[in-house]
Structure 1
Amino acid sequence: MHGEEIARRRATAWSDWITNADLCREFATVDGSGFPAGTRVVDLGVAVLEVKRFRPIHLQREAGLVQTGDADIVQLIVPRRGTVNATWAGRQDTVSVGDLYAHDLAQLDEIRLESDGQDDALELALVAIPKPVLPLAGEAMAPLLGHGVPVDGGVSGLLKRFIEDLSDERLSLNPADRQRLGMVLVDLVTACFSSLLQSGPAPRPGSPRRVLALRIRAYIQRHLNDPELTPRSVAAAHHISVSYLHRLFQEEGDTIAAWIRDQRLQRTRRDLADAALTDVPIHEIATRWGFGRAGDFSRAFRATYGVSPREFRSHTTRWASRP
């Protein structure tokens, strides 16, 4: 079976919903002429990007009907031409060119795709990512779903531009490129969501304490594979006391031990989702990122992501399998 055919069969839950009449009370375009939709699928392994072209369309989900798996998918919508009017969990939002919208399919009630007035052509870039792939608990993401994401000069702007670049039909990528870029995309979504969720006071960006905190985090990133990495060793490497080190992290709403663990878990998650590493045993990946005991790693992974490392790898393999 060719890769393109596999990618199409593994297309997003959006495609399943939009082509399944059983889920809709109304299934017609605004002008009643049907909805010729051109689709280009970019298989990114841990995510799927679709570029869809429509004529104006109005769809409405039948009450109570939700596809299996809808709740497990986070979808990002980037309009390239036209406007999206979505009703999600009873809340309405309008998304147009230049915007970014995040939601899960389970609570999407109604959607209208409208032209911008120049012609009837609409074009959307749609990204679907399984929730277990993102290192954020479902309840943590809940406040961000069903909303337009503020696009600015920060991470959200980078994310939007990255999706737009991936949507360029002139872009030619081999399967390995797509796999790697899929993981970059997941990291950008994670960074964007984490930035939006971040709250509480932090040291002024240019302050000496902030500079030191950033230097310490960079040091930890470089030494995550060292099983002897501890708050005491980090403090000693920066000639500060352990208590002062703890205060630096507390000022940013974290603890150093939890941050080290979370960074290690994120690295193992990436490696477990990497199709190029499917033959590497899970315990070797855990050891590579500083987890000395397989049991401790498995418990920490399940507590953070809600599934075991083996279940996570199995889930992502279904998205990232190759012919």
Structure 2
Amino acid sequence: MALTYSPDSKEAWRSQGTSVLKCHLNFGHGDPTGSVLRSWRLGDADLIDARFAHMSVSRMREGEDDSLCLKLVRRGVLAVEHGGQVRRFKQGDLILVRGTSSVRQNFIEPAEVVSVLFSPESLKERGLRFDAHGYTVPDHESADVQAIAGMIALVADQNGDTSEKMRRRQGGQLLELLDLLIESPLALSRRRSGEATLFRAKRFIAQNLRNPELDVPLIAAAVHASSSQLTRLFRAEGQTLMRYLLDCRLTLAAELLQQIGVTRLQVGEIAYRCGFSSPTHFSRVFKERYGVSPKEAACASLMTSTDRRLVANQSV
């Protein structure tokens, strides 16, 4: 959305600021025309690529939103006001801002800023807690911080044109990198809560489905938990860990079989891709789950994508 000379443009921008930025926009004395605001989802995060000029941005109300916003200044200067003090950030700087109305962002001259907004829920389920008030500035001399800034810039340059799966993974990666931006463990800490441990275990399983040797001890070690603790956490959700693993593998296999008309994957190859020890075992548990064999499921997929169109054409 671009700010134009239209009489209604400023009001539209204020509305957009409320819905996308979750902030209040105040226009200054200069000409804000040419300001641009674009946004798209990154899984559990939102990326906002914006160009601001002659305006200020602040939260609507204190305590309304406990989200975190990671900001990268790509061009120009961002002046952050908090506690009666103003600090200026230039190109390449990163700032981590808590959802608070006490922080005001001022854009006197045109500036380009990329913001990644993380929801409280996405932080909680990963065991992340941000205790600092106002905003925090990472060490800009750190190679890790520079690498994260480069990653954010690269994602912004993709304009949201990548697949939903890619964007979801990018958002997840940025969430996992948050703790590298804060040196003090008091500012950002990991709680070894059951919820966070369960989340990490499920993520590890999703990333390693192809490994046929996945078992409870291996997964527990990967998420720094005991086998008994992890077993209890999954049982509390109503299923065993290994049953959850099997369900994930079967779901992935069903998705691949739906694509078999395009990819021409053999059923045996799908079995190994999903971490099954043998095609025979895969076929047996797949039929138990879905009521048809993998080959029958693949034929049904081909029928949907090709034969049904032919049948429809013949009936006309």
Normalised to the residue count of structure 1, the TM-score between the two structures is: 0.51
Identity %: 17
User: How far does residue 101 in structure 1 lie from its aligned partner after superposition?
Assistant: 0.5
In 2, the alpha carbon distance for the partners of 1:61 and 1:180 equals 28
Aligned to 1:80: 74
Aligned to 2:44: 46
Question: Taking structure 1 as reference, are residues 48 and 171 closer, same or farther at Cα in structure 2, changes over 3 Å only?
Answer: closer
Whether contact under 8 Å (1:13, 1:105) holds in the other structure is: no
User: How far does residue 107 in structure 1 lie from its aligned partner after superposition?
Assistant: 4.0
Over the aligned positions, Cα root-mean-square deviation in angstroms equals 4.2
Letter in 1 for 2:200: R
Aligned to 2:92: 98
Letter in 2 for 1:44: L
In 1, the alpha carbon distance for the partners of 2:137 and 2:41 equals 25
Whether contact under 8 Å (1:37, 1:53) holds in the other structure is: yes
Question: Taking structure 1 as reference, are residues 38 and 260 closer, same or farther at Cα in structure 2, changes over 3 Å only?
Answer: closer
Alignment of 1:280-319 (within 5 A): 289=220, 290=227, 291-294=230-233
| Structure possessing the higher relative contact order (Cα contacts under 8 Å, 6 or more residues apart) | 1
Question: Taking structure 1 as reference, are residues 96 and 297 closer, same or farther at Cα in structure 2, changes over 3 Å only?
Answer: farther
Task: Give 1:17's match in structure 2, choosing from 19, 23, 28.
Answer: 23
Aligned to 1:156: 145
In 2, the alpha carbon distance for the partners of 1:61 and 1:264 equals 32
User: How far does residue 170 in structure 1 lie from its aligned partner after superposition?
Assistant: 6.0
Partner secondary structure for residue 143 of structure 1: coil
Task: Give 1:174's match in structure 2, choosing from 163, 169, 192.
Answer: 163
Letter in 2 for 1:167: A
Partner secondary structure for residue 97 of structure 1: coil
Task: Give 1:110's match in structure 2, choosing from 95, 101, 104.
Answer: 104
Whether contact under 8 Å (1:183, 1:270) holds in the other structure is: no
Letter in 2 for 1:293: R
Whether contact under 8 Å (1:159, 1:189) holds in the other structure is: no
Alignment of 1:134-149 (within 5 A): 134=123, 135-138=126-129, 141-143=130-132, 145-149=134-138
Aligned to 1:267: 200
Whether contact under 8 Å (1:95, 1:148) holds in the other structure is: no
Whether contact under 8 Å (2:35, 2:52) holds in the other structure is: yes
Moved over 6 A (4+): 9-14, 258-263, 295-298
In the alignment of these two chains, the number of paired residues is 202
Question: Taking structure 1 as reference, are residues 269 and 96 closer, same or farther at Cα in structure 2, changes over 3 Å only?
Answer: farther
Task: Give 2:62's match in structure 1, choosing from 40, 56, 66.
Answer: 66
Letter in 2 for 1:148: V
In 1, the alpha carbon distance for the partners of 2:192 and 2:128 equals 16
Unaligned runs of 5+ in 1: 1-8, 20-26, 116-120, 200-253, 275-284, 299-323
Unaligned runs of 5+ in 2: 1-14, 207-215, 221-226, 238-316
Aligned to 1:250: none
Alignment of 1:101-250 (within 5 A): 101-115=95-109, 121-134=110-123, 135-138=126-129, 141-143=130-132, 145-169=134-158, 172-193=161-182, 196-198=183-185
User: How far does residue 151 in structure 1 lie from its aligned partner after superposition?
Assistant: 1.7
In 2, the alpha carbon distance for the partners of 1:101 and 1:161 equals 14
Aligned to 1:221: none
User: How far does residue 159 in structure 1 lie from its aligned partner after superposition?
Assistant: 1.3
In 2, the alpha carbon distance for the partners of 1:100 and 1:156 equals 8
User: How far does residue 288 in structure 1 lie from its aligned partner after superposition?
Assistant: 6.3
User: How far does residue 102 in structure 1 lie from its aligned partner after superposition?
Assistant: 0.8
